[in-house]
Amino acid sequence: MKTIGIIGGGQLGRMLAIAAARLNFRTVILEPQADCPAAQVANAQITAAYDDPAALDRLAAQCDIVTYEFENVPVSAAERLAATRPVYPPARALAVAQDRVTEKRFINDCGIATADFREVDDQAGLEAALIAFGGQGVLKTRRLGYDGKGQKVFRSAADSPEGAFAALGVVPLILESFVPFEREISIIAARAIDGAIVAYDPAENEHRNGILYRSTLPATLGPDTVEKAKAAAAAILSALDYVGVIGVEFFVLADGTPIVNEIAPRVHNSGHWTEAACVVSQFEQHIRAVAGLPLGNGARHSDCVMQNLIGDEIDDVPAWLARPDALVHLYGKAEARPGRKMGHVTWLTGSKS
């Protein structure tokens, strides 16, 4: 029986461990938090920092393959592990995704459109970038921001940039232009070791307070937009020589053109619906890919809606469990806090038309 190492012990690591067990793999989690969600279902946990050399060597010694559940794994950790064990997705995917400027340049080099952007390295650079964008844009940290954190929005020239560079930590920033989009979608796609690619249908996403709240299938899209989005995801996977599941987020313009917002080199929140509406979920697909197994069918058999249970929405679980059309998945987190994802629910809305 082979063992898969998973760096990160959050809910995504938990769901990967569950999927691995169904395919007869053992899992070992590397995570500094002792009572993490993934540890409740994995075979073992190494409780240490993600970049602890001794812990990484222990993980390599105990595992045949290593993967990860979040994109801020230190690149040096992935490279150390890759010296002795296959690490999927590759360390290069982490390096690209961890810096928003590097990410956008990579996507553009693949021939795929993104929002316009400017590097911002100081207050003067911010002010110059805002002038170039007519006083509008979204200022973000280049690294480590997620779920709306590390951002400031400038909606017009009346929004003063004074102190904004310092307020975001005096770190390298990026100013992204506004995109006049009609909807946000995402593609979950997988690439196998042999280069085979399977893409799931795009989800239409609704965010609240910078956090994904709901994903709906099917998305309100024409077939040409669907094909362009899937082709963009495939191009990104191939350019990275990627193995595993990736999430690619898009803005869709009024004419149906998909513009890539960002990539996530891991299983993705907007793909949780695949548990209920596909024979092979994104989690099983990822395990298949990294373990060298054939990819599964990504076809959707049902239309559905996936909704995150955030903070005290965990109190609604009894009502969700009473619904005959709903699949409830809870993450084993002891404390509900505002903005914290406690679980999700997917309800089926009918067979795929």
- pLDDT digit string, tens, across residues 35-71: 899 999 999 999 999 999 999 999 999 999 999 999 9
Helix axes 53-62, 75-82, angle to 10 degrees: 40
How confident is the model at residue 353, as a pLDDT?
61
In terms of domains, do 186 and 157 share one?
no
Where is pLDDT greater, at 152 or 30?
30
Domain that holds residue 128: 116-176
Q: Tell me the mean pLDDT in the region 202-206.
A: 98
In terms of domains, do 345 and 269 share one?
yes
In terms of domains, do 187 and 253 share one?
yes
149 pLDDT more than 70: no
Is residue 80, in this structure, part of any structural domain at all? yes
- pLDDT digit string, tens, across residues 100-120: 999 999 999 999 999 999 999
In terms of domains, do 242 and 313 share one?
yes
Is residue 23, in this structure, part of any structural domain at all? yes
Q: What are phi and psi of 31, to 5 degrees?
A: -160, 130
In terms of domains, do 236 and 332 share one?
yes
176, 192, 227: which is the final residue of a domain? 176
Q: Mean pLDDT check: name the lowest of 121-125, 202-206, 278-282, 344-348.
A: 121-125
CATH number of the domain to which 151 belongs: 3.30.1490.20
- Angle (CA) 158-159-161 rounded to 5° is 125
- pLDDT digit string, tens, across residues 82-98: 999 999 999 999 999 99
- pLDDT digit string, tens, across residues 249-260: 999 999 999 999
In terms of domains, do 64 and 155 share one?
no
In terms of domains, do 188 and 271 share one?
yes
How confident is the model at residue 9, as a pLDDT?
97
In terms of domains, do 189 and 80 share one?
no
How confident is the model at residue 146, as a pLDDT?
56
Write out the E strands in 218-301: 244-253, 258-264
293 pLDDT more than 80: yes
Model confidence, pTM: 0.94
- pLDDT digit string, tens, across residues 318-336: 999 999 999 999 999 989 9
- Computed over every residue of the chain, the mean pLDDT equals 95
Q: Mean pLDDT check: name the lowest of 54-58, 162-166, 195-199, 250-254.
A: 162-166
CATH number of the domain to which 223 belongs: 3.30.470.20
How confident is the model at residue 67, as a pLDDT?
98
In angstroms, the CA 280 to CA 269 distance is: 16
Counting the structural domains of the chain, the total is 3
In terms of domains, do 171 and 186 share one?
no
In angstroms, the CA 228 to CA 223 distance is: 9
* Neighbouring C-beta atoms of residue 222, cutoff 10 Å: 11
Is residue 171, in this structure, part of any structural domain at all? yes
Q: Tell me the mean pLDDT in the region 217-241.
A: 98
DSSP string, 77-115: HHHHHHTTS-BSS-HHHHHHHTSHHHHHHHHHHTT--B-
Q: How confident is the model at residue 125 (pLDDT cuts 50, 70, 90)?
A: confident
Q: How confident is the model at residue 337 (pLDDT cuts 50, 70, 90)?
A: very high
> In this structure, which long-range contacts are made by residues 145-150, counting pairs with CB atoms below 8 Å and at least 24 apart in sequence?
147/210, 147/211, 147/339, 148/207, 148/209, 148/210, 148/211, 149/210
How confident is the model at residue 147, as a pLDDT?
55
